[in-house]
Amino acid sequence: MKTEPEAAPIVVAVDNSRAAATAAQAAVRLARGLTAPLVFVYVRRGPSSALGEPYYQRRLDAEMTAGAAP
């Protein structure tokens, strides 16, 4: 799909929730209808740092992997 050069991007924040999936579908339809670029931003709550650095880093890596999954 070719986008309009002056079209502002549609930005949608997503996470692993059903609400985010619905928002993503609506954003795709809107961007397609407007021939606008579409930007997805993955958001998440940060892991607790209470258990120390190694645990925090493992959780952070796992969350980043989950965010990159299709």
pTM over 0.75: no
Looking at per-residue pLDDT, the higher value among 35 and 58 belongs to 35
Count of CB atoms situated within 10 Å of the CB of 27: 19
pLDDT tier for residue 23 given thresholds of 50, 70 and 90: very high
DSSP 34: H
The terminus-to-terminus CA distance of the chain in angstroms comes to 20
- Residue 19, classed as helix, strand or coil, is helix
